[in-house]
Amino acid sequence: MIITFGHTKGGVGKSLLAWHTAIAMDIPVVDLDFQKTLVFSNSLRKQAGLKPVEIIHIDNDEQFIEMFNEWPEDQDIIIDVGGFDMSINRIALIISDLIITPAIDRVTEMAGLSKFHEIITEISETVEVADIRTLVLLNELNPNSKDIKVLEELVEDFDRFDIMHSRICHRADFYNTMKEGKGVTELTKGKAKSELKNLIKEIKKIKKRGSRCLRRNLMSMH
């Protein structure tokens, strides 16, 4: 299963979620984010004597296509898409079995979600094999906030978005563990650990139901 954390807006938590999810599921990550946040955290992980995350770096579209033409469909992998719109990121959206789009409950996020919906609609209408939908994950929520109706209603207004049941709040453990090269699921306890485990459970349920799985011979699309 190809799980992509995708959004054209930066700063929404794609790399953070990719990191913690990869550790929790013990699967590799394709790092398409030019900031290379995962590389830095992985170096800290190695220094701490922990099993490093397998981070795969891609140099160009052709290498990316070749890799996923040969990727086993029963092997899970994460793609961390950078916060920008370019061809390699669009290819990632096309081939993904599951796209998770982190969204923050802020006014500025509304424009970002609208732009991302435009992009996946454009891809779906122009690429023959693509019919892209994405699951929006409410991320960085205020733990004390009870009212997130504005963002939920926004997501419902877009026909290619569905909202996930899981919620990720702004918690220090997500950042502190990453700075130490660890994942929140490696902690003994904590709300961040519980939230991440709930996300993993939801991902596994989606996988069990059967994913979108649009993979074809990608060379014919390029």
Q: How confident is the model at residue 33 (pLDDT cuts 50, 70, 90)?
A: confident
Which residues, listed in sequence order, are joined to residue 2 by a DSSP beta bridge?
77
The per-residue pLDDT for range 120-137, each reduced to its tens digit, is 999 999 987 778 999 999
What is the residue range of 68's domain? 2-220
Q: Structurally, how many domains does the chain consist of?
A: 1
pTM equals 0.91
Structure tokens at 60: 């160009």
Q: Bigger pLDDT: 189 or 212? A: 189
Q: Bigger pLDDT: 138 or 156? A: 138
Which residues, listed in sequence order, are joined to residue 44 by a DSSP beta bridge?
none
Confidence at residue 95, expressed as pLDDT on a 0 to 100 scale: 92
Give CA separation, 155 vs 29, 57, 69, 104, 114, in Å. 27, 32, 32, 12, 9
CATH of the domain at 32: 3.40.50.300
Q: What is the CA radius of gyration of the chain?
A: 17
- Residues present in the chain in total: 222
Residue linked to tokens 């190809």: 2
Secondary structure of residue 185 in the 3-state scheme: helix
Structure tokens at 65: 């296509």
